[in-house]
Structure 1
Amino acid sequence: MRQNYLLILLEKTSFIVVLFLLISKLKIFKNIFEKDKYTQKDLFVISIIFTVLSIMGTYNGIVYKGSILNTRIITIVSGGILFGPFVSIPTGIISGVHRLLMYPGSMTSIPCFISSIFAGIFSGLFYKKIRPNYKVFYGILVGIISENITIILIYLLCTPKELALDIIHTIYLPLVVGQFGIGFMVSIVNTIEKDKKDIEARKKAEMSALQRQINPHFIFNALNTIASFIRFDPKKARDLIISLSTYLRHNLELNDNLINIKKEIEQVKSYVDIEQARFGNTLKVIYDIDETNIKSPSLIIQPLVENAILHGILPMDNKNYGIVKVSVKNLDSKVKISVEDNGIGINQNVIDNIYSGNMPENKIGLYNVHLRLKLYYGKGLEITKLNKGTLIEFYIWG
């Protein structure tokens, strides 16, 4: 008969594990589990998940002479090992109180109530002390210890002793073996975290590749411009050399870390100084920059300004000023960045190709910025063809 209880409890443990697996696949919960640090709101949501699973474990348990073989401790300990005391302690208290009130006259109600709280506290204490590679082992160990506390309390608090010993003799092995379910639940979250790290590694590789593709194409033209100024305006030539060196320094310092937006604007201005020296009065650039210390991906604005100048302003067949406006505006919780020009206007096919990812290899500047923004923030460029010119906008936040 005890063997039947073991098989039944393993079946119920499998049910809880599979249910947790399905929950972890839901986008709202997967996004939480993937985080490196959890907010109070995250921990509150996770606590609800594990509390519900613990209560379900009690409802789904097997009644034997006033005791209930269940999976409650499995979920309490899993919550503590994975997410810490702010999850396991509320889960242990609430599910323990539920067990106490569910069968208040049951001889094992008080031992199960006490051991549930113990499991919540004990597993939570191990949260920051366990290396990720050992969480499965320690989770199972803490679960076994917690169930042994249950058994000891049943023996000490329950009468008659013959019935207490009969219950212990029947439920001990199923309860201990069932704790391997903790290993499966921990492994599910570990797999999510590993997948996240793999995705981050791929993103990092993509970032590096995209940044290498966004190399300046105007260096030779800049050098020719500087050479021409050396003859009749040496001071201007010196200023342009400083602008070029600033521009190149920013490019050489490219990495996957976010940089202060002020450095990004400095990079834009260095580029614009050289282009204005080349094209003279045909190009005017206006800056509308709010004071902000927000960080942004490197080399994210300059390619947009370059695109506005080369593909918007220069092809114009008139003698009017070409105007490019660079704007950085503080909003409530994010910063809006825009580059607007009064040039010939972007072709709708180009916009469609950027959004669909179907860009020719020789026209990847805008697409690379669009893709990098999507990798960082989940949303890329917003491109609008105006009556006269093009408006490109995007948002960043800390």
Structure 2
Amino acid sequence: MILNIILGLANKFGNLFVFAFILSRLRSFRNLIAKRPVKLIDKLILSSVFGIFGIIGTYFSIEFEGALVNTRIIGVATGGLLGGPLVGLLAGLIAGIHRGMIFAGSFTTTACAVSTVFEGIMAGFMGKFIQNKKKKWMYAALTGAIAESMRKISVLIFSRPFEDAVSLVKAIWIPMVVINSLGLALLFVIIDNIFTEEEKMGAQQAELTLRIADKTLPFIKKGLSSKDIQKVAQIVYDMTEYNAVSFTNTEKIVAHAGAGTDRHEVGKPIVTDITNHVLATGEPIILGHCSEKLCMYRNHNCPLESVVMFPLKENDKVIGTFKLYKGVPNAITAIDVELANGLAKLFSTQLTLGKLEYHSKLLAAAELKALQAQINPHFLFNSLTVIGSLCRTNPDKARSLITHLSNVFRKNLNMNKEVIDLEVELNHVKSYVEIEKARFEEKLEVIYDIEENLNCILPPLTLQPIVENAIKHGLLPKKNGGRVSITGKKQKNEVIIHIEDDGVGIEKERLLQIMSDKQIHEDSLGINNVNQRLKGMFGEKYGLQIESKVGKGTVVVLKIPVIEHAEECD
């Protein structure tokens, strides 16, 4: 008899799988599992769901000697274990009130109705106890055993005649403890497996997205108009199992990898309504089968049946689309959508950063041109004045200065490279210094102490603005002028250059203003420009280091990493 009752209840276990599936789809339930805050309204929803499941357990009963042998406790206890005392109480009330209102199994109606409420409360406190414990299925089984024992005690208290209650309890206690404990344990195992698998899939997807990002980063930042965008499509295609990957701008296909038709060739204009819809609205589209009227493959032999398409944006402006194709109809899953969404957002971010980097380079180039323009007119007029005065008194000196002047301006006019050799920059500085020495004669002394065979690559117009600043603002305000020392040596993998003067020095507040990125005074344009270009090219630690003492002078230190080829600067 006991075995028959157990087998009869076991046949009702199919609803456990249905219940587990329904629970896994509820946002409030997922928040419970993830231990995120759950609102009161969510708890009320969960209470109703668990209570209804308890009612279903009542209907899936087996009548035995005037009682209902059932799995009602599984729904109520699950609510308490996961949602706490409040959810357990409400679920118990819903299932308990229903049990008290039905006629079937009237011998145990009151006992079962009352015990269901207390079983829910007990499960709620058990849930708080096991909240951070592992192997919850074991505690679920224990909760089932306790709950069924509470119900049998309730039957002995409320059901009469007492002899019949004792006989009933002896007959069904063991099978109901076994089946409900087993059911609760099995339900928690199912729920745990569902979320464990989802977490694994989510982790794998995140890992895949990061690996794709790592490989595509050098190419995507160059923009959709770059030829390298084809490499991005190929990388995504090679690292995933999609039949094709495409990129478009607002007018045409710019990259395609994998299977395709004549319509998918790179360079072909956009003709599909769905792509134009994504471009116009910025909303993604998931298509289960080809529905384009102009597609010759629409009704047969289409190699790309399903597609998920997301917009690509720069500063919230749609500039193109990203598409993942599958060759089977209705094959796009939620995981495909999440992957496409993640990659589209990542690509959009990199496209925006690439555009900002491009504009930053344009700005730096414009600042460099402004610096050149600032140097050229004043320097030219002053130099020509000196040369003119020397033409009669010292023609050889005037001829030499003209050569130096032409060198200075030739280099300024040809400063369209991002980097130059240190030797070239030093020659530029020497030509500039020779002209300044001709102007100020005994007031200016420049000493060079450069290590032999010292070479590195640095941005153009790096040293000259610093030397000019030392002469113009450091030495010339002094009545007797002064000295500028330029030293250079190699330390490990860096070239260290010191430009030191014994001029008037710079006050602390003024020095902070000069090095500030926010307020750039006209007199500090050159120094700030050099500082920003060094940091932008080599990194923050390679910015200028300036030390100054009022009345004693200033030292500017440059650290340049040893890079022998300009390509390495990328």
Which consecutive unaligned segments of at least 5 residues does structure 2 have?
1-17, 31-190, 217-234, 261-328, 564-570
Task: Determine which of 335, 348, 358 is the counterpart of 2:508.
Answer: 348
RMSD: 4.2
Matches within 5 A, 1:214-293: 214-215=371-372, 216=375, 217-255=378-416, 257-290=418-451, 291-293=453-455
Matches within 5 A, 1:86-101: none
Contact 1:247/1:270 (8 A) holds in 2: yes
Residue 370 (structure 1) shift? 2.7
Contact 1:136/1:186 (8 A) holds in 2: no
Q: Secondary structure at the match of 2:415?
A: coil
Matches within 5 A, 1:35-50: none
State the Cα deviation string for residues 146-203 of structure 1 (Å, max 9, x = none).
xxxxxxxxxxxxxxxxxxxxxxxxxx98983321222122223313322331221222
Task: Determine which of 487, 496, 502 is the counterpart of 1:327.
Answer: 487
Matches within 5 A, 1:160-179: 176-179=333-336
State the Cα deviation string for residues 246-285 of structure 1 (Å, max 9, x = none).
1001111123611111111111011001011111222111
Matches within 5 A, 1:292-307: 292-307=454-469
- Measured in 2, the distance between the counterparts of 1:237 and 1:130 equals 68
Contact 1:80/1:123 (8 A) holds in 2: no
Provide the aligned length of Structure 1 versus Structure 2: 282
Q: What percentage of aligned pairs have identical amino acids?
A: 30
Residue 353 (structure 1) shift? 0.8
* Residue 380 in structure 1 maps to residue 543 in structure 2: yes
Contact 2:548/2:554 (8 A) holds in 1: yes
CA pair 68-130 structure 1, distance change in 2 beyond 3 A? closer
State the Cα deviation string for residues 3-22 of structure 1 (Å, max 9, x = none).
9699689x99xxxxxxxxxx
Residue 220 (structure 1) shift? 0.6
Q: Tell me what 2:479 maps to.
A: 317
- Measured in 1, the distance between the counterparts of 2:424 and 2:485 equals 18
* Residue 392 in structure 1 maps to residue 556 in structure 2: yes
CA pair 224-130 structure 1, distance change in 2 beyond 3 A? farther
Amino acid at match of 1:323: R
Q: Which has the higher helix share?
A: 1
Amino acid at match of 2:465: P
Q: Tell me what 2:284 maps to.
A: none
Residue 206 (structure 1) shift? 2.0
Q: Secondary structure at the match of 1:255?
A: coil
State the Cα deviation string for residues 56-95 of structure 1 (Å, max 9, x = none).
xxx986279x99983465345435544459xxxxxxxxxx
- Measured in 2, the distance between the counterparts of 1:349 and 1:257 equals 32
CA pair 274-247 structure 1, distance change in 2 beyond 3 A? same
TM-score (norm. length: structure 2): 0.43
Q: Tell me what 2:341 maps to.
A: 184
- Measured in 1, the distance between the counterparts of 2:192 and 2:447 equals 68
CA pair 200-234 structure 1, distance change in 2 beyond 3 A? same
Q: Tell me what 1:78 maps to.
A: 209
CA pair 137-122 structure 1, distance change in 2 beyond 3 A? closer
Which consecutive unaligned segments of at least 5 residues does structure 1 have?
13-58, 86-119, 142-171
**Higher relative CO (CA 8 A, sep ≥ 6), structure 1 or 2?**
1
Residue 364 (structure 1) shift? 2.7
Contact 1:74/1:179 (8 A) holds in 2: no
Q: Tell me what 1:150 maps to.
A: none
* Residue 62 in structure 1 maps to residue 194 in structure 2: yes
Q: Secondary structure at the match of 1:396?
A: strand
Contact 1:296/1:396 (8 A) holds in 2: yes
TM-score (norm. length: structure 1): 0.59
